[in-house]
Amino acid sequence: DTGVSQDPRHKITKRGQNVTFRCDPISEHNRLYWYRQTLGQGPEFLTYFQNEAQLEKSRLLSDRFSAERPKGSFSTLEIQRTEQGDSAMYLCASSAYISEAFFGQGTRLTVV
Amino acid sequence: TQLLEQSPQFLSIQEGENLTVYCNSSSVFSSLQWYRQEPGEGPVLLVTVVTGGEVKKLKRLTFQFGDARKDSSLHITAAQPGDTGLYLCAGLSAGGTSYGKLTFGQGTILTVHP
């Protein structure tokens, strides 16, 4: 197992376009987290899953953001009608139930 | 809402100096994790502390979990330029509606000058 994998590593998109990111967690990890991070700041919670169930979604997130984990394995995060303020690093992490979380390398989104 | 206050936000020191980073909250956590992150990469887990009063050592790094499991500290002895990075603490919620949710502090940007 090579750890948490995120794809793509970098994404440049025009304002108004939709983007989708993928996260493959460590196998057998039933918890999966999505965070957003801007330069020099701590990660900001977006949402998390236990298996395929989405347990919580940040109230800061607009309806343009949606995440799925259909079979309790990989997850996708979609941003519709992107805005320049969406430019950030999007991080995915996984954990085995209530335990330490391991992060992927992130997807750097730039909206131009 | 559980908040983690991390301080200082910035730390710039000379090689060989010691430093301490603090992570404080009014909430109780089931565990607390410390990460180090380099630019353009994801956070890398350094240590997890679980028991109140627990102290863990990782070479020149010493991590402590408060007795009440609300706060933690990271102490680095004889800092080296390779220690430069963003240090993050993260608490795992102990109960309530956000049970098992991982919440991060704002981070401490450490720069160690040769």
Once rounded to an integer, what is the mean pLDDT over residues A63-78? 94
Write down the pLDDT at residue B94: 73
What percent of chain A clears pLDDT 90, i.e. is strictly above it? 80
Contact B86 A40 (CB under 8 A): yes
Smallest Cβ–Cβ distance between B109 and the set A40, A50, A97 belongs to A40
**Which whole-number Å values give the CA distances from B41 to A16, A52, B7, in the listed order?**
27, 27, 22
The structure tokens listed for B10 are 């910035």
Handedness of CA B69, B71, B77, B81 (dihedral sign): positive
Which pLDDT band holds residue B6 (cuts at 50, 70, 90)? very high
pLDDT band at B48, cuts 50/70/90? very high
* Cα–Cα distance, B12 to A10 (Å, whole number): 30
Of the residues A41, A44, A54, A56, the best mutation for testing chain B's interface (the one with the most B CB atoms within 10 Å of its CB) is A41
At residue B102, the pLDDT reads 87
Query: By CA distance, what is B43's nearest residue in A?
Result: A103
CB A25 within 8 A of CB A75: yes
pLDDT for A98:
72
Q: How many CB atoms lie within 10 A of CB B61?
A: 18
Asked if residues A92 and A101 have their Cβ atoms less than 8 Å apart, the reply is no
Least confident range from A35-39, B57-61, B96-100, B101-105: namely: B96-100
Q: Would an 8 Å CB–CB cutoff place B92 in contact with chain A?
A: yes
Give the helix/strand (H/E) hosting B82.
none
Among A33, A38, A44, smallest CA distance to A100 is for A33
Contact A44 B43 (CB under 8 A): no
CB-CB neighbors (< 8 A) of A49 in chain B: none
Q: Using an 8 Å CB-CB cutoff, list chain A residues near B99.
A: 98
Q: State yes or no: pLDDT of B42 exceeds 80.
A: yes
The answer to whether the CB of B21 falls within 8 A of the CB of B35 is: no
Nearest by CB to A42, from B33, B92, B104: name it.
B104
Task: Report pLDDT for B22.
Answer: 97
Find the closest chain B residue to A30 by CA distance.
B100
> Average model confidence (pLDDT) for chain A?
93
Q: Residues for chain B: how many in total?
A: 114
A48 with B42: Cβ contact below 8 A = no
